[in-house]
Every structure is written in C-alpha cells, then in structure tokens.
C-alpha cells in the first residue's frame, strides 16, 4: 500500500507544499517572490489537504527540504515539519534540496550531459552540486565562489546545464564555454522532495526528530567541487 507523504520546500524564495501517495501527486501549492514562508506555509498545508481531500491525520510521513539554502527559510520549513511529526507521531524524512532540483530538471529536460544545481548565496557565491541524468551526485555539495575556472573539468568533458536561482548571475562568466547551457527549469518544488522521500520511506531512512537540523552549509569557503568519480 502506498504511503501518503506531506512535503515542505522552503530553502529559497519559493514556498512549496505537496502531498503525494506513492508516485502519485495528490496536491501541490507553491509560490515564489519574496521570503514570506512564515505567513504562507501553514495556509499552503491546509490548502493541499483540502485539495487532496485528506486530513492531517491521514499523513504517514513528513518530508522536508533540508538544504542548503536560506537560513531563515530552512529554519521555518524544518521547524514546521518537526512540529507536525511531534504532534502526529509520524516519521521525518529529510531530502537534499539540490538533488530534488536536479530530479526536477532531469524529468523536463532532454539535454544530455550533466546538471549543475545552483542556489544563490551571496555576491558570486552559490550552493551547488553536479548530478547526472540518473540523479546520481557527481560532485560534493559546496559553497562555490564562481569564476572563469569553476567547473572547468566538467565543462571539458560534457555539456553542463546550469539551473536554479544562482545560475543567472553566472551566465556571463561562462559565456565563452560552448558546453555551458542555462535553463530556467529545475526550481525547488515539494513535488520532487516527495519523490525522493518516497524511496527513503520504503527504506525507513528517517531522521531523529529531536536532533535533526537543516544543512545550512554556513562555512563560506571558496572551494573547487571535489569530484567523486
């Protein structure tokens, strides 16, 4: 029997809530713009429950985007998720924000090669990681200050699609790179948090609700993505 998961995505300016039953999306409510998760999140949860014709007691697990991303946004999302888990006595599932973004774009993009998810951090810095078309991570998640040498190895080997709210500010830097592609797709969405959470649920990969904290990636150190291959 498929389990019902309530997913929360608040790592960026997008506030997103989804309810899924197995691989079936039952409800989705999301909105971008400014950071207003504290005002929107509970209302979005209520709207999704109404859309799915469920009550909060029907939920089997809570999934949350764990970061990296906005400190305040992640704090709000994780605090809400943990509160629901405590009150409902349900498991908490944490999903990598960048991996869910990569899953999103891999489903909507026919471009071969690699996918580089980017979340805006500050100035020319982004939170980033590279994934292949099968959603396998290729480079470590890192806080990267972008310059003309960033991702040089990957760009020599394959086409790389850059996406997310940190990608636009990097376009000029890679303007001379023939393998660099920029896409407006692949933004954070609770729909893809839930897809990855469904796999974790089947494996009982749950978090300790009392001790779980978001992955803030707060050490702003300029590093080159370490290849895992």
Which of helix, strand or coil describes residue 153?
A: helix
What pLDDT shows up at residue 111?
67
pLDDT per position as a tens digit, 42-92 = 999 999 999 999 999 999 999 999 999 999 999 999 999 999 999 999 999
What pLDDT shows up at residue 162?
95
What pLDDT shows up at residue 190?
98
Mean pLDDT of the chain: 91
Whether 222 shows a pLDDT value over 50: the answer reads no
Q: Name the nearest CA neighbour of 118 among 106, 127, 108.
A: 127
Mean pLDDT computed over 12-29: 96
Q: Which helix (H) or strand (E) holds 108?
A: helix 97-108
Question: Is 98-182 in the same CATH topology as 4-96+188-202?
Answer: yes
Round to whole Å and give the CA distance between 105 and 127. Answer: 17
Q: Using N-to-C axis directions, what is the helix angle for 97-108 and 190-202, rounded to 10°?
A: 110
Q: Name the nearest CA neighbour of 92 among 206, 191, 203.
A: 206
Q: Would you tell me which CATH number, out of the four given (1.25.40, 3.30.420, 1.10.3470, 3.90.220), belongs to the domain 98-182?
A: 3.30.420
Name the CATH architecture for the domain at 4-96+188-202: 2-Layer Sandwich (3.30)
Round to whole Å and give the CA distance between 69 and 121. Answer: 7
Q: Name the nearest CA neighbour of 66 among 37, 28, 98.
A: 98
pLDDT band at 225 (very low <50, low <70, confident <90, very high): very low
Q: Using N-to-C axis directions, what is the helix angle for 71-88 and 37-52, rounded to 10°?
A: 40
Structural domain boundaries of the chain?
4-96+188-202, 98-182
């Amino acid at each position: 029997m498929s389990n019902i998961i309530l997913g929360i995505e608040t790592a960026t300016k997008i506030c997103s809530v989804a309810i899924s039953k197995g691989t079936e999306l039952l409800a989705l409510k999301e909105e971008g713009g400014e950071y207003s998760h504290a005002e929107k999140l509970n209302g979005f949860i209520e709207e999704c429950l109404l859309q799915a014709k469920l009550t909060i007691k029907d939920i089997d697990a809570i999934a949350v985007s764990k970061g990296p991303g906005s400190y305040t946004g992640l704090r709000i999302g994780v605090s809400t998720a943990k509160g629901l888990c405590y009150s409902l006595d349900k498991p908490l599932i944490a999903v990598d924000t960048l991996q869910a973004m990569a899953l999103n774009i891999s489903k909507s993009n026919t471009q071969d090669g690699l996918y580089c998810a980017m979340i805006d951090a500050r100035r020319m810095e982004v939170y980033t990681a590279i994934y292949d078309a099968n959603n396998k991570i290729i480079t470590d998640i890192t806080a990267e200050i972008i310059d003309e040498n960033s991702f040089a190895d990957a760009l020599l080997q394959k086409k790389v699609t850059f996406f997310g709210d940190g990608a636009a500010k990097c376009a000029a830097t890679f303007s001379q790179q023939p393998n660099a592609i920029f896409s407006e797709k692949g933004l954070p969405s609770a729909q893809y948090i839930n897809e990855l959470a469904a796999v974790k649920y089947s494996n009982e990969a749950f978090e300790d609700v009392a001790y779980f904290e978001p992955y803030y990636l707060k050490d702003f150190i300029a590093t080159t993505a370490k290849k895992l291959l």
